[in-house]
Amino acid sequence: MENFFDLLSVLVLLTSFVLVSNKKITAYIKTFRIQSALIALTAGIMGWHIALDEGKYDILIICVIIVALKVVFIPHLLYKTYGNIEYRVVKDFFMNIPIIVLICCGLVVFSYFSVSNIGTLTGFHINHQVVNSFSVVLIGFFFMISRKKAIG
């Protein structure tokens, strides 16, 4: 089961790369929705196992909230906002997309070596889910500062 969670974390990381390399607003919103669905799937599977083993339903409730807000409600509001704004696809990056993707690869490598140096998390085994999650956060920060316009 841990391999499945590793696969889901890699898919979330790959959607971050797709998000950074997109140019169109509708592609941003679709990728955001896919990434949110993958996160909700991860929470749902974890919540299902915890509900069966321990009888606790809090993570399943979080999964439902993620689906309601991040998969349905927020993309709907973004599409609605995008429809009301006259926006043309222009170069709104500070750098070229290949350079941005290479910087994101560097952030993943940085995350790997940063997390692997934390002794309490690793022991003899590196938790790839933590590395990928930290990488997604760093890529998200970089995504916000690499754009010229706030709509992206």
pLDDT, one tens digit per residue, over 128-152 is: 888 899 999 999 999 888 877 655 5
pLDDT, one tens digit per residue, over 5-49 is: 989 999 999 999 999 888 888 888 999 999 999 999 999 999 999
Task: Determine, yes or no, domain membership for 52.
Answer: yes
- 126 with 116: CB under 8 angstroms? yes
Share of the chain above pLDDT 70, in %: 86
pTM attached to this predicted model: 0.84
- Residues 149, 152: Cα–Cα separation, whole Å: 6
Task: Determine, yes or no, domain membership for 151.
Answer: no
Task: Determine, yes or no, domain membership for 145.
Answer: no
Domain count along the chain: 1
Residue 31, domain extent:
24-88
For 1-152, list the strands marked E by DSSP: none
Task: Determine, yes or no, domain membership for 45.
Answer: yes
Task: Determine, yes or no, domain membership for 63.
Answer: yes
Task: Determine, yes or no, domain membership for 1.
Answer: no
Residue 80 to residues 2, 29, 106: CA-CA distances in angstroms?
38, 11, 35
